[in-house]
Structure 1
Amino acid sequence: MSNTVADKLARKTRKKAPAKQVRLKLVYVDFWSAVKYSFLVSLCLAIVGTVAMILIYTVLVQTGVLDKVNELFMDVVAGDDFNLSKILGFPQVAGFAVVVGVLNTIVGTALGAVAALIYNLLVRVLGGFQLGFTSN
């Protein structure tokens, strides 16, 4: 076993430095960052919701569930005059899904902005969150 300077340096670099811990306080949330983040999250959820609604509709049509519900509705409530499949067609369901997604995006973005404003106001009274960080 050789004890050269290179071996000693290689052994020193293998040793891990001790992890340092830092405690920080979150005292401010940037308004525009919160708005952008909440917009992107709301947009992703709107896309997922729209696709899910269209897929669920497609599965219900392919399995014949909507036809059975239409028959039951005509027998119990409306008679032969009324056809439920005209109201629950694919264009109507897709349009409704898109409208709900757009509204959810607007409301989600507004809620993110309001949450950032409320947090920034409450920090003045309560002092913010105490957070602990460590380095690896």
Structure 2
Amino acid sequence: MSLFARAKRNIPPVKQVKLKLVHIDFWSAVKTGLLVTTATGIATIVAFFLIWLLVSQTGLFGSLSTLVNSVIGGGAGASQQGVDVAQTLSLPRVMSFAFTVSLFNLVLGTALVGISALIFNVIGRLTGGISIGFTNN
């Protein structure tokens, strides 16, 4: 008997499983959406802090202030005051903006997940759901 024939004999038959997704529980979807948007909100706040820290430590705020002042012509004389990007984009302002964006994302994302679950349930009831097939490779 050849090696190929022995290998072919040892292969189990392919099993196929078909599942049909018809209903998504509304509250489970909302709870899962709340957890996911909370995690993305925390990641957003951390990312804003790390980016601000990177820009602050590299001295990019000073370069941006010089660039903005040269473009708008501010800060040349004693009577004119230039734009200070470091003061405008201070850490408390950046973090409050990050918190606001995260809170908005949390509320809107959770609501959209719930609405999406309701829409899927209506469409699943009308069409019979989504059929998914799995095979054993």
Question: TM > 0.5 between the two?
Answer: yes
Provide Cα deviations, 1:44-99, integer angstroms capped at 9, x if missing partner. 11111111111011101111111100111122226121322221001111111111
Are 1:25 and 2:20 an aligned pair? yes
Tell me the secondary structure at the aligned position of residue 79 of structure 1. coil
Instruction: For 1:33 and 1:133, locate their aligned partners in 2 and report how far apart those are by CA, in whole Å.
Output: 24
1:99 maps to 100
* 1:10-21 equivalence runs, <5 A: 21=16
Percent same amino acid among aligned pairs? 41
Gaps of 5+ in 1: 1-16
Gaps of 5+ in 2: 1-11, 76-80
Instruction: For 2:100 and 2:109, locate their aligned partners in 1 and report how far apart those are by CA, in whole Å.
Output: 14
Are 1:55 and 2:55 an aligned pair? no
How many equivalent pairs are there?
122
More helix by percentage = 1
Instruction: For 1:78 and 1:54, locate their aligned partners in 2 and report how far apart those are by CA, in whole Å.
Output: 31
* 1:11-90 equivalence runs, <5 A: 21-77=16-72, 79-80=74-75, 81=81, 82-90=83-91
Provide Cα deviations, 1:106-125, integer angstroms capped at 9, x if missing partner. 11101100110110011122
Tell me the secondary structure at the aligned position of residue 94 of structure 2. helix
Query: Structure 2 vs 1, CA of residues 41 and 59 (structure 1 numbering), >3 Å: closer, same or farther?
Result: same
Instruction: For 2:41 and 2:96, locate their aligned partners in 1 and report how far apart those are by CA, in whole Å.
Output: 13
1:13 maps to none
User: What is the RMSD of the two structures over their aligned residues, measured on CA atoms?
Assistant: 2.2
How far 1:18 sits from its partner (Å)?
Answer: 7.0
How far 1:134 sits from its partner (Å)?
Answer: 6.4
1:108 maps to 109
Instruction: For 2:91 and 2:122, locate their aligned partners in 1 and report how far apart those are by CA, in whole Å.
Output: 46
